[in-house]
Amino acid sequence: MSGEPKRMIVGISGASGAIYGVRMLEQLRAVGVETHLVISKPAVQTVTHECGLSITDLKSLATDVHSNADIGASIASGSFKTTGMVVAPCSVKSMSEIATGLTTTLLARAADVVLKERRRLVLMLRETPLHLGHVRTMAQVTEAGAILYPPVPAFYQKPQTIDDMVDHTVGRVLDLFDIETGTVNRWHGLGHPPQ
């Protein structure tokens, strides 16, 4: 994609942790990355309940918004070049659809396209505890090429607020795409403060 702006797909599924998707969109906008948002139906409730955002406000954070029912959307085709996709948060249901290639929604189809085109797919899986079926599905989606990134906070950075933890985690996910947001307190070894 030389000469073209970076373009990311952001999926938000119905798992708890909608703030990760919101902050992902905010951080990508701040660094000038074009974003294509797709939201599952359960995610609409989660975003409203957990973040106090209207769906209109959420959609305003993205460059382009696609209906989860629109299988004909640009992001459903491998010829539409992207840097990759993040599902933040990712429910076990969405992970399972992606792992099995069940593409009845745009979120799952876009993720499937990212995998088949050998682009980066990161799933911020939000579920605990895990049973054996979850673990097997995690292995299956990893074998297909996805990266599982459960949003587990880092404490070496000595976060003072929930926002600190969320920003650091989202910044670390975006590190996987070589997108620098300035929100990661980087480790420099014991005795050296994170920077």
Task: Spell out the domains of the chain, with CATH numbers in brackets.
Answer: 12-130+141-175 (3.40.50.1950)
**What is residue 188's predicted lDDT score, i.e. its pLDDT?**
84
The Cα–Cα gap between 146 and 129 comes to 21
pTM above 0.75, yes or no: yes
Q: DSSP state, 33?
A: -
Listed in sequence order, the residues at least 6 apart from 75 whose beta carbon sits closer than 8 Å to its beta carbon are 9, 36, 38, 66, 82, 106, 109, 110, 113
Q: Contact at 8 Å (CB) between 138 and 148?
A: yes
Give me the phi and psi of 136, to 5 degrees please.
Answer: -65, -40
CB 146 within 8 A of CB 123: yes
> In this predicted structure, which of 5-9, 49-53, 162-166, 169-173 has the lowest mean pLDDT?
5-9
Residue 144 in this model has a pLDDT that exceeds 80: yes
Of the pLDDT bands very low, low, confident and very high (cuts 50, 70, 90), residue 113 is very high
> What pLDDT was estimated at residue 195?
66
- Asked whether the predicted pLDDT for residue 57 surpasses 90, the reply is yes
Give the residue-averaged pLDDT of 136-154.
Answer: 97
The predicted-structure confidence for 168-194, as pLDDT tens digits, reads as follows 999 999 999 999 999 998 888 888 776
pLDDT tier at 157, thresholds 50, 70, 90: confident
At 14-50, the pLDDT tens digits run 999 999 999 999 999 999 999 999 999 999 999 999 9
Three-state SS at 36: strand
Burial of 143 (0-12, 13-18, 19+ CB in 10 A): exposed
Residue 44 has a pLDDT of 95
> Over the chain, what is the mean pLDDT?
95
Full strand arrangement of the beta sheet holding 147-148: 64-66, 34-39, 7-12, 84-90, 120-125, 147-148
Residue 1 has pLDDT above 50, yes or no: no
Helices (H), 7-105: 18-30, 41-51, 55-59, 92-100
Task: List the structure tokens of 20.
Answer: 């990760």
Question: What proportion of the chain, given as a percentage, has pLDDT over 90?
Answer: 90
Average pLDDT over residues 83-107: 97
Q: Averaged over 91-115, what is the pLDDT?
A: 97
What does the alpha-carbon distance between residue 21 and residue 25 come to, in Å, rounded to a whole number? 6
Residue 191 pLDDT = 80
